[in-house]
Amino acid sequence: MDLKIAHAKDLLLARSGIEDNDLNKILNSMMSHGVDYADLYFQFSKNEYWGIEEGQVKSGNFSIDQGVGVRAINKDKSAFAYSDDISNEALQSSSSIAKAIASKNLSQSHKLVHHKISPNFYSEQDPLSTLSAEKKISILEKIENFAKKEDQRITKVTASIAGEYEVIFVINNEQRVAADIRPLVRLSISVIAESNGRREQGSSGGGGRFGFEYFTDELLKQYAHEAVHQAITNLNAKPAPAGSMTVVLGPGWPGILLHEAIGHGLEGDFNRKGSSAFSNKIGTQVAAKDITVVDDGTIKDRRGSLNIDDEGNETQRTVLIENGILKGYLQDTLNARLMNMPTTGNARRESYAHLPMPRMTNTYMLNGSKTPEEIIQSVKKGIYAVNFGGGQVDITSGKFVFSAAEAWMIEDGKLLYPVKGATLIGNGPEVLKKVSMIGNDMSLDSGVGTCGKEGQSVPVGVGQPTIKIDGLVVGGTA
């Protein structure tokens, strides 16, 4: 038996006296109503958070939650119930939801079997127990001091550190049994710089699926420097120009535009319903010929990585766009069945109280052949967006509006001065065709991404190399 399965069963089932036979009975009862598919999702999670502001602990909390989600699928209909009480009584009560979408009464027999051992793309340690509360607060005090030493114009620093330990156990009627142990940590810093009556903000941070020991002094100094640099740069920024112009996007976090404006449009549910700009376009050219986009949930220790998805399927590296050609979509069980396509290990849910749906893991564009310097030097006049702040996206059309947290004016192939108030406006599928140069410096974000969809939030990763986009609309303040 997989050790993760043994641990999950001990933590989630044994304490409540639930045995394999009990799970068999629940699934058999649901399948007897003639549904196509049924599964049970058990989850235990504990979370810790600390925040400081100007050297004072402003917030701290710790929580534990556990429960089970019970789902039945019949064609395109789903029935779902959940309970924070893990017991045979709660399971039996929740399993009656299958009647709501039943097609007919059948006699089906299900026997629980153990799934093969799942891979390990990250540690199974509990990050909350690796350091005392005092040492976690000490990390925040250190990064605050590093930031204030960077520049005397820094007038305020806020920082936070968070950790999560999650154990899941999934079983379904197709004889799949799987479990995962998921650590997750994150550190964030925000600074305010003031000079000559002007006030600007900068931020940074990172994290992933490991323990708090990841945050070494050197890494804290790096985060502090990045946040201070952004704030000081914007103190000296001029108003951004407006109009259609060449835009260069930096590597790493700017891949959030790719995630939001394009990645969501490649999720199976939107394409099954025909509401995505990429619906019915597999095999056709949807991007410039040098663009390849993948979603990869198997990258070691990454924030968006998973050993298994929330239906118990192993995650994988899925090529979505290859050399400009659309190759496929991200799928969960429901949409893969209805579209007659394979699952891709992308079923994700915020918790046991939510239905799974197709979601991204770590989504990024592969390297091209140009150096970042070549790309900048090729621009007569345009904007270089180093980092992004907030944005809005219409997932079905791909239309987006993103604000640049740090941007520079390019003229005659040189970065002249920082600009403030640059807003990028466009359409994701159209932008893919306007990419004229792709850098060789692909990097992933530092581990801060959180994706929202239909009210559910899950951790994700994004990335890309430096890219040049011809003719993107910039909303400026000049």
pLDDT digits (tens, 9 = 90+) for 281-292: 999 999 999 999
- The DSSP annotation for 164-224 comes to EEEEEEEEETTS-EEEEEEEEEEEEEEEEEEETTEEEEEEEEEEESS-GGG--HHHHHHHH
66's tokens = 């556990």
pLDDT digits (tens, 9 = 90+) for 351-374: 999 999 999 999 999 999 999 999
Q: How far is CA 35 from CA 29, 99, 171, 223, in A?
A: 10, 9, 16, 51
Give the DSSP H/E element, type plus range, for residue 151. none
pLDDT digits (tens, 9 = 90+) for 319-335: 999 999 999 999 999 99
pLDDT digits (tens, 9 = 90+) for 34-79: 899 999 999 999 999 999 998 899 999 999 999 999 999 999 999 9
Q: Please say if the pLDDT value at position 300 is more than 80.
A: yes
Q: Please say if the pLDDT value at position 112 is more than 90.
A: no
Amino acid 109: pLDDT:
60
Residue 267 DSSP label = B
Amino acid 105: pLDDT:
67
Q: What's the predicted TM-score (pTM) here? A: 0.95
Q: Do β-strands 381-393 and 177-195 pair in parallel, antiparallel, or remain unpaired? A: unpaired
Amino acid 445 reads D
| Residues, the chain | 478
CA quadruple 132, 133, 139, 141: dihedral sign: negative
Q: At what angle do helices 217-235 and 133-150 cross, to 10 degrees?
A: 40
pLDDT digits (tens, 9 = 90+) for 402-412: 999 999 999 99
- The DSSP annotation for 316-335 comes to -EEEEEETTEE---B--HHH
Angle at 30 between CA 26 and CA 32, to 5 degrees: 115
Residue 477 DSSP label = -
Q: What span, in angstroms and rounded, lies between the C-alpha atoms of 182 and 118?
A: 13
Amino acid 391: pLDDT:
81
Helix, coil or strand: residue 357: strand
Q: Locate tokens 């549910």: which residue?
A: 269
Confidence of residue 298 (pLDDT cuts 50, 70, 90): very high
Confidence of residue 110 (pLDDT cuts 50, 70, 90): low
**Strand ranges, E, within 235-376:** 238-239, 243-249, 293-296, 317-322, 325-326, 347-348, 357-358, 362-365
- The DSSP annotation for 389-450 comes to EEEEE-TTT-EEEEEEEEEEEEETTEEEEEEE--EEEEEHHHHHHTEEEEBS--EE--S--E
pLDDT digits (tens, 9 = 90+) for 413-468: 999 999 999 999 999 999 999 999 999 999 999 999 999 999 999 999 999 999 99
List, edge to edge, every strand of the sheet that includes 198-208: 77-83, 56-74, 37-53, 154-172, 177-195, 198-208
- Among candidate residues 15, 36, 358, the one with its CA nearest the CA of residue 167: 15
pLDDT digits (tens, 9 = 90+) for 466-476: 999 999 999 98
Amino acid 101: pLDDT:
87
Average pLDDT, the chain: 94
Confidence of residue 106 (pLDDT cuts 50, 70, 90): low
Amino acid 8 reads A
Amino acid 111: pLDDT:
63
Averaged pLDDT for residues 128-155: 96
Amino acid 124: pLDDT:
94
Q: What span, in angstroms and rounded, lies between the C-alpha atoms of 244 and 474?
A: 6
Averaged pLDDT for residues 220-234: 98
If DSSP states are collapsed to H, E and C, what string results for 76-133? CEEEEEEECCCCHHHHHHHHHHHHHHCCCCCCCCCCCCCCCCCCCCCCCCCHHHCCCH
Amino acid 88: pLDDT:
95
Amino acid 398: pLDDT:
83
Q: Please say if the pLDDT value at position 108 is more than 80.
A: no
Q: Are 109 and 28 in contact (CB under 8 A)?
A: yes
- Among candidate residues 169, 186, 210, the one with its CA nearest the CA of residue 299: 210
Torsion of CA 10, 126, 119, 168, to 10 degrees: 50
Averaged pLDDT for residues 362-390: 96
Q: Please say if the pLDDT value at position 114 is more than 80.
A: no
Q: What span, in angstroms and rounded, lies between the C-alpha atoms of 372 and 380?
A: 15
Q: Locate tokens 């893990």: which residue?
A: 86
> CB 340: neighbour CB atoms within 10 A?
6
